[in-house]
């Protein structure tokens, strides 16, 4: 699965958790997943000034 798909899936899960008023721990878990996937995306695609779309 591509990095962008991972980000979108995690964002969707976070949105659903917020909409359902899930507990703070669940929302925080999904938020951390989004952050981790975004960091991985930038590390893989923008390393040393290169841009791979």
Task: Report CA torsion sign: 24, 30, 34, 40.
Answer: positive
* Eight-class DSSP state of 46: S
Spatial separation of the C-alpha atoms in residues 31 and 25, rounded to whole Å: 10
Long-range contacts of 42-47 (CB under 8 A, 24+ apart): 44/3, 45/3
Query: Structural domain boundaries of the chain?
Result: 3-49
User: What pLDDT does residue 27 have?
Assistant: 95
Question: Residue 48 — pLDDT band, cuts 50, 70, 90?
Answer: low
Please tell me the predicted confidence (pLDDT) of residue 13: 95
Please report the pLDDT score of residue 37 as a whole number.
96
- Separation between Cα atoms, residue 50 and residue 35, nearest integer Å: 21
Query: Could you give the CA distance from residue 1 to residue 25 in angstroms, rounded to a whole number?
Result: 26
Q: How confident is the model at residue 52 (pLDDT cuts 50, 70, 90)?
A: low
């Amino acid at each position: 699965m591509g990095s962008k798909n991972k980000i979108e899936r995690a964002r969707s899960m976070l949105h659903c958790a917020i909409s359902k008023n899930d507990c703070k721990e669940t929302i925080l878990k999904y938020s951390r997943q989004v952050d981790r996937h975004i960091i991985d995306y930038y590390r893989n695609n923008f390393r040393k000034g290169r841009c791979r779309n």
